[in-house]
Amino acid sequence: MTIDRWIAEKAAAQPEKPALIFEGAALNYGDVAGEIDARAEALRRAGVGRGDRVAWYGLNAPEVFILLFACARLGAMLVPLNWRLAEGEIAQIVESCDPTLVIHDEDFAGAARHLSGRRVVAAGAPLPEGRPAKAEAAGEDDPLLIVYTSGSTGRPKGAVLTQAALVANAAMSVEAHAMTPDDTVLNVLPLFHVGGLNILCTPAFSIGATVELHRRFEPAAMAQALARVDLAITVPTVLQAVMETPQWAAADLSRLRAISIGSTDVPVPLIEAVHARGVPVIQIYGATETAPFAIYQRVEEAHATVGSIGRAGSACEIRLVKGDGSDAGPGESGEIWVKGPNTLIEYWRAPEETAAAMRDGWFRTGDVARRDENGLYWFRDRIKHVIISGGENIYPAEIERVLRDHPGIREVAVVGRPDAKWGEVPVAVVVRADPALTPESVLGHLEGRIARYKRPRVVVFVEALPRNAMGKVVAAEVRRMIASMHAGENAET
């Protein structure tokens, strides 16, 4: 069985049921099923068969899902390209995945033409016929998605997810959100990430719910849309931008049953501000390699477990592993390992990186968490972000959470800087909300809240923090920024 059956079954039972709402127009399940049928046959005639790749180069559009389900039927793989990357980076990914076709929207027509040696086709145009691929039976164990993420070597690596991974992921999302076929879910996140594709959209299709899709994120448009949907997915930077619009204050959120949030450490004050509007916020923890669900809050526990990333996913296993390889006990910190059908089967054509990330079927996330006596998980930080100062582990996220409470701080990132005496010391990189904010005020805010050895030795004020497409602060760029600054220009303490 392939996951295009989700659409086919709903089309047979309720063909007029809305499946996708996009730019004011609705496609019902019958429409979508017909589009998938046509696209799958066109792809096959263009030479796309089992194991082949099809790349999408464009903004959010219904076409992404049509291609996804058409590829599922053929046993092919969809590669959604991160359009925010430079053209050279896109070319590198295309070379890696070697797609049979690159399909692009009008926004990226010029960039797509620069992909030399590729069959490039505009969305909506007839696909070029070639030697038709052999029709082969596909199944849930076939790879379906290659989603590229940053590699440890600096080169992007493609996480390969099977159809079974999307099935397991969908089941966990439906559970977390208490999602029903009557729901309308909202996605404004880019579909080149598993968050945009799989936190709400593919789970909604799996049960016959309705997806409202935005071409790209616009704060006012999202604030208005929240009044007409049941569920929405966001990330902290997106939610903060929405809450700063007048449309947020004016929106009637009585229909909105929950907002799910993830991608990075979530500020508790942001969660509490949404709770004050009567809307539960649930945290989703995972990675590109886990499709992404791995640990999550359930809607019914949202108010009682604020700050937690939730409980182990029902379709996967979770371990917390200490540095010596033993399992962490309650209250102890360890690296999050995930095992289950939702995890990647490999990094595309990267056996060494696959071997480094996997251990006896467990995916090593590189993230640190602790589990309390109630089975709730609490995120600590990325292992690579941990600062080792005088032999002590310092978790930057812990310091950042405290500093975010300072009314004069808009944004903050804490990174390590080499130090001759201590090995590393923490540095606080701050975007001011109050122009009069001083280093002394920043550091004074930490007094009595964290141990003195964890306190930053330097406070640096900047205009903005570097972020990636999903709103995560890029710590490596922050560290490079600090390295390029002369220590004497900063506020030493």
What does each of the 493 residues of the chain score in pLDDT, given as a tens digit?
Answer: 899 999 999 999 999 999 999 999 999 999 999 999 999 999 999 999 999 999 999 999 999 999 999 999 999 999 999 998 889 889 999 999 999 999 999 999 999 999 988 999 999 999 999 899 999 999 999 999 999 986 544 578 999 999 999 999 999 999 999 999 999 999 999 999 999 999 999 999 999 999 999 999 999 999 999 999 999 999 988 999 999 999 999 999 999 999 999 877 788 999 999 999 999 999 999 999 999 999 999 999 999 999 999 999 999 999 999 999 999 999 999 999 999 999 999 999 999 999 999 999 999 999 999 999 999 999 998 888 889 888 788 989 889 999 999 999 999 999 999 988 888 899 999 999 999 999 999 999 999 888 888 999 999 999 999 988 777 888 889 988 888 874 444 444 4
145 is a domain residue: no
33 is a domain residue: yes
353 and 435 share one domain: no
Beta pairing partners, 210: 184
Residue 248 sits in a domain whose CATH number is 3.40.50.12780
401 and 376 share one domain: no
192 is a domain residue: yes
152 is a domain residue: no
379 and 457 share one domain: no
Residue 415 sits in a domain whose CATH number is 3.30.300.30
Rounded Cα distance, 275 and 280, in Å: 6
> Could you tell me which of 400, 445, 405, 449 has the C-alpha nearest to residue 427?
400
Residue 33 sits in a domain whose CATH number is 3.40.50.980
373 and 404 share one domain: no
362 and 225 share one domain: yes
210 and 343 share one domain: yes
157 is a domain residue: no
160 is a domain residue: no
Beta pairing partners, 193: none
364 and 235 share one domain: yes
125 and 236 share one domain: no
The total number of structural domains in the chain stands at 3
The residue among 364, 383, 402 that closes a domain is 383
Note the pTM of the prediction, 2 decimals: 0.87
Rounded Cα distance, 86 and 98, in Å: 18
pLDDT at 267: 86
Rounded Cα distance, 64 and 56, in Å: 7
20 and 84 share one domain: yes
The residue among 346, 365, 383 that closes a domain is 383
376 and 404 share one domain: no
446 is a domain residue: yes
300 and 357 share one domain: yes
pLDDT at 150: 67
* Residue-level length of the chain: 493
pLDDT at 472: 82
95 and 118 share one domain: yes
Which structural domain, as residue segments, surrounds residue 255?
165-383
34 is a domain residue: yes
The residue among 383, 403, 433 that closes a domain is 383
Residues 6+ positions from 436 with CB-CB distance below 8 Å:
408
pLDDT at 484: 81
Rounded Cα distance, 301 and 307, in Å: 11
